[in-house]
Structure 1
Amino acid sequence: MKCEVAREALSARLDGEREPVPSARVDEHLAGCAECRAWFGAVSAQAEFLGALARPERVHAVASAPRGNHSGRSALSWMRWALFATGLAQIAVSLVQALGLSVGLAAHHGAGGHLLNESTAWSLSIGVAMLAAARWPVAAAGLGGVLSVFALVLTGYVVVDAVAGEVTLTRMLTHIPVLVAAALAVAVWRRTSTTPPTPEHSHRDTEIVLPPHASRGRRRGHLWPTDGSAA
């Protein structure tokens, strides 16, 4: 019997599968082949090691172990809560405006009608988007990009209107949630995108060292000869 055939049968034996050749012939080959005995011993030890890692108590210990990067996660949590509060403030401003209450709009601006409705709809929409980004940080990237551009353009208009005396201090204060949310959304996005993976996941595959002449099979834990199936 060739070594490749015997090793494939031994690998199936370790996995509890049906061996492709009679077990007696495999055992005879194993008794007379020192290289296959050494290979089988290394594979058996590796299988025992993997089995120990998969035990319930081991999995529970890994899952309950303290994770690193607590400061980064605390900062992210704080920024998400701040973004959530800013979103609530933005929604409050839009609701006040929708109810027709004074939000610092000058009467000569003709703030009524469709133009006011468009402003209210936009304010309410970005407020809801802030809440969504606080709940799902992956959405903070898009929100941060839109609000950053909007804040830049809005600042230009506010400066021009303030010099011309066409904007009140109250109205300028209603734009603060947008500026704050733009900075928070960018910060949440950057913090989320730079969070490193946990060590047990990033090195789970690299910690397993295969024995000589063995490679990963079609599923995890199944080892095959380096030249594939002998069949």
Structure 2
Amino acid sequence: MQCAPFREAVSARLDGEPLGVPAADLDRHLAACPACAGWADAAEAVTRRARLAPAPPVPDLTAAVVGEVARQLFGTAAAARARLVRSALRLDLLAVGVAQAGLAWPALSGGTAAMSAPVHVAHETGAWNLAVAAAFLAVAAAPRLAAGALPFLATFTVLLTVTTVRDLQAGHVHADRAAAHLLLLAGVVLIAVVAWRQRPRRAAAPAAARRVVA
């Protein structure tokens, strides 16, 4: 009698699979064939050692997985907040630019009845205000221009603020006229915020260096 089918049945029994032969026939063969009975005992011992052997150590990745999930979630939320703030700054700067252009137009169009300055000075003032409005609108359209526009606009705003305060104290300018410069100040503050948000991050350089080395 061939032993191979019965040894396959023994292996299937150890693995909990269908025997392929009647269980009674397998038991009778093992009782009558010492070679297959020894093979079955050895297979059972090997299987038992394999099942009772300690599992190899596996690193605990729970903290890493949870940290990565949190980083992804909070990173996505932070990116959404950053986009919302960026859009709000651009819309505010757009509104300030349009308002600044509205202040410049009367002086350029000849509406100088309420102004005590000569016509040419009024035109110069209107041109300055319109140029500032154009700068505000340009940064609103292309925020990357904020850092380049800030030095000139900030210097102009500081000097204008100092002279306006002195003129107010001396009575050379009306308060409503001076209040119009608050629009300029608001625009410069918005541009400063945009430029600050676009500054290079120091942590980006080491991370890039590590990726290159790897």
Q: TM-score, normalised by structure 1?
A: 0.52
Indicate how the Cα distance of structure 1 residues 98 and 181 shifts in structure 2: closer, same or farther if over 3 A, else same: same
Q: Show the counterpart of 2:97.
A: 87
1:191 to 183, 188, 197: 197
2:180 to 155, 174, 185: 174
Stretches of structure 2 that go unaligned for 5 or more consecutive residues are 1-75
Determine the C-alpha separation between the residues in 1 that align with 2:79 and 2:203.
10
Determine the C-alpha separation between the residues in 2 that align with 1:136 and 1:103.
37
Determine the C-alpha separation between the residues in 2 that align with 1:75 and 1:150.
26
Structure showing greater radius of gyration is: 2
Larger helix share, 1 or 2: 2
AA matched with 2:145: A
Identical-residue share of aligned pairs (%): 28
Classify the secondary structure of the residue corresponding to 2:196. helix
1:100 to 84, 107, 110: 110
Q: Show the counterpart of 1:154.
A: 160
Confirm or deny: 8 A CA contact 2:112 2:119 kept in the other structure.
no
Q: Show the counterpart of 1:43.
A: none
Stretches of structure 1 that go unaligned for 5 or more consecutive residues are 1-65, 210-231
AA matched with 1:92: G
Deviation beyond 4 Å, 4+ runs, structure 1: 194-198
Number of equivalenced pairs: 137
2:204 corresponds to 1:206: no
Q: Show the counterpart of 2:136.
A: 130
Q: TM-score, normalised by structure 2?
A: 0.55
Q: State the superposition RMSD in angstroms.
A: 3.0
